[in-house]
Amino acid sequence: MRFEFNGMREDRAGLSRRRFVQGLAAGGVLAGLGLWPKQGWALRSAGQPVVLSGTDFDLSIGEMAVDFTGKARTAVTVNGSLPAPLLRWKEGSTVNIRVRNALQRRSMHDDEASVHWHGILLPANMDGVPGLSFDGIRPGESYLYRFEVRQSGTYWYHSHSGFQEQRGLYGPLVIDPIEPEPFRFDRDYVVLLSDWTDLDPQRLFARLKKMAMYDNRYQRTAGDFLRDVRKDGLSATLADRRMWGGMRMSPSDLSDVNANTYTYLMNGTTSLGNWTGLFRSGEKVRLRFINGSSMTHFDVRIPGLKMTVVAADGQYVHPVTVDEFRIAAAETYDVIVEPSGQDAFTIFAQDLGRTGYVSGTLAVREGLRASIPSLDPRPLLSMSDMAMGHDMPPMQGMDHGGHDMSNMQGHGMGAMVGMDHGSGTMPSHPSSEAGNPLVDMQAMSPSPKLDDPGIGLRDNGRKVLSYSMLRSAFDDPDGRAPGRDIELHLTGHMGKFAWSFNGQKFSDAAPLKLNYGERLRIVLVNDTMMTHPIHLHGMWSDLEDEHGNFMVRKHTIDIPPGTRRSYRVRADALGDWAYHCHLLYHMEAGMMRTVRVSE
């Protein structure tokens, strides 16, 4: 077995020059002349260390000029690298990681830095969340992370300070297991997906607060109306338009930030950079996909190749073979592919809203490319996607600026637009949502939808992964029935770009209190029209099926609109832990809680 990770460590000047070339190519200047970025940097020889392995590590957080679009910008890097270096640990070892903050102090949001080890079980003061588990790392100071490695698999690490993650502070993490793995492979590559913006993230956040639909440039037209009339009939089409108009929402608003703002990266390079992983025909190649983006769900496929999923969020699963999978921000999937029959295959990752993509290549030698597929058609949300039903009457008198909700009595839109169409019962909503100006909708008939691959992926002619296909390769590690349930609603207001749990933003919410050692069930209900990947620090999330049976162990659970999903948690980690949506700007806008585990 060989482990290969392409594209990380260079001297500061060399990396800056290389980023500039990539930026020109991405802007079309070099591409038009037939001059492509040299790919030699992406294919490392044994004499060029790009993987930091062992038990002792020194990481320096600094800044560096990068250029992905033809405009030089400042990124936050680790050891002069974007992404940060691949760290390789060994299960059962104790690691010592000295992290130095070498950032120049320019403003309040540059005062501190941090590193969070995503999905890693460790003491609370090693988790890296300023204000919860430690004080952060001030400029010129260092912090020693020291903990025992109690797991194996594919993970990642990133900043939990301000918007440093968006500016480039993220990197892959691979933990080698003590016991042999239950599958064979010949080569091993990390494929780290991310999103980059030339905007200062603070400015982007301010823009979202003022113009939340800035990137939603695909609005329905008169032509769309006529097409829908032909397909669904005039009455149904008018009812649909009345309902969306009454909610003051857009069915094309699938993601807050998309390729109209973002440049998508694979292992730190653009599509024109063409990250390349080499193979020999007939080899089994392990691809460790990591979504290190700030705001992007990617739909991943390799045309011409089947992918066998063997691990999810670092944990082994019973192998399942698919053509495509959706990977939410912060999730990881390990897949095995067996390329043969052609010299190159395209790794294609398009965003959920079909506004852009990033691609790389598996090839028998450097410099090859395969054809890149077109983006799939742009999907539209339906009332059913949001658990609002399709046969409900249009709403009357509902002001989604949040000013006419007093008659909801905890049932939100249910008081006006009907009952749960599956059972005829009214779903329950927390009282904190009633009359709340930061809540603009509530799901009427939420369900797990575990067998749904997601909007834009249904009936596309390909076999697409869904959560229902994932089964851990082990039984429920705890075995106890949950002693109690905690139900939380994911809430928001699209126009105000306000996000929260139960209508209460982080700054206003009390900690969720867990008793050390207890087994409990967390139930999440998505009352918004956005998909939210929810991450609980320090503890595993054991996803259940519709009947409460253990399915798969994960550290991040994606919650699409109109869904109600549950998972079990063993509160086996003392301290204060972050619990939040892993869409960075949703977390910053308030969709976060503190989970306090105490004896």
Taking only the tens place, the pLDDT of each residue in 526-556 is 999 899 999 999 999 999 999 999 999 999 9
What is the pLDDT at residue 228? 57
Domain that holds residue 447: 401-599
Residue 34 lies in a domain: yes
Number of domains the chain is built from: 2
Q: Tell me the one-letter amino acid at 348.
A: F
Residue 366 lies in a domain: no
Return the ∠ at Cα 402 (arms to 399 and 404), rounded to 5°: 55
Copy the structure tokens of residue 529. 């029209």
CA distances from 227 to 234, 390, 456, 459, 500 (A): 10, 18, 18, 20, 37
Q: What is the pLDDT of residues 107-147, one digit of tens each?
A: 545 579 999 999 999 999 999 999 998 999 999 999 999 99
CATH number, position 121: 2.60.40.420
Helix (H, G, I), strand (E, B), or coil: what is residue 536? strand
Q: Domain boundary residue among 181, 214, 233?
A: 181
Q: How much is the pTM?
A: 0.84
Q: What is the edge-to-edge ordering of all strands in the sheet holding 116-118? A: 51-53, 86-90, 170-176, 153-158, 116-118
Residue 585 lies in a domain: yes
CA distances from 527 to 239, 387, 441 (A): 22, 9, 6
Identify the residue whose tokens are 């709403």: 395
What is the pLDDT at residue 31? 27
Backbone angles phi, psi at 229, to 5 degrees: -60, -45
Q: Domain boundary residue among 161, 181, 201?
A: 181
Residue 45 lies in a domain: yes
Residue 567 lies in a domain: yes
Residue 345 lies in a domain: no
Residue 64 lies in a domain: yes
Residue 408 lies in a domain: yes
Residue 566 β-bridge partners: 523
Residue ranges in the chain modelled with pLDDT below 50 = 2-49, 108, 225, 244, 390-425
Q: Domain boundary residue among 164, 181, 198?
A: 181
What is the pLDDT at residue 3? 44
